[in-house]
Amino acid sequence: MTARVVTVAQQKGGAGKTTLLVQLATAVAALGRKVAIVDIDPQATLTGWMRIREHEARGTPELRFAMVGGWRLGVELDRLQREVELVLVDTPPHAESEAKGAIRRADLVLVPCQPSPADIWASRATFTLAAKESRPARLVWTRVPPRGRAVEEARAAVAREGWPVAAAELGNRQIYVTSFSRGLGVVEAEPKGVAAEEVRALARELEDALVRR
């Protein structure tokens, strides 16, 4: 069976694209699945994380890795889809051609969004692009504080847009930062923690969505 491709895309930088991708990749790999991660962002944050993982996070599940750009993306995705079960693609911010190509190839586009007006405004362009490419997209809340009026206002704003939203959310927790700096996902760094449960719930939701495709 050809592997599914999930593209993580967001016009705005700093929304948590790479963190979301890393958490999902490590959670799915922990279930024994073969996972590949692809970095097409010139900032190469995912590449840096992978280098740390290769040198310091020994004993963790293997992740296939590639950093590509331009026309080579399609060739690399074709190859990886024959070798693994899930491919996750980290894209650059803004509507660059690389991001468009990754969205075009996606079985599902995940749009990380912090509960702030700026992130919601930026998400609109990504959903528009996914719709133009006839690709399903789903918003994922990231860095969600425990409570507050701003969070409820953000939820209401997204509801008015009519965008599909993942039920599972990633809270504003320090473990996401500290595990990332060690080349780990939270399911590896703190497997019994609340953050790990959040990520596992999101991974289950992702797999369910891909099965229905």
Instruction: Give the domain extent around 34.
Output: 4-212
Q: What is the CATH number of the domain that holds 136?
A: 3.40.50.300
Structural domains in the chain (count):
1
Count of CA atoms in the C-beta half-sphere (13 A) of 103: 30
Q: pLDDT by residue (tens digit) across 78-134?
A: 999 999 999 999 999 865 677 889 999 999 999 999 999 999 999 999 999 999 999
Block residue for tokens 């609340």: 194
pTM, two decimals, is 0.95
Strand partners, 89: 7, 38
Q: pLDDT by residue (tens digit) across 140-153?
A: 999 999 878 889 99
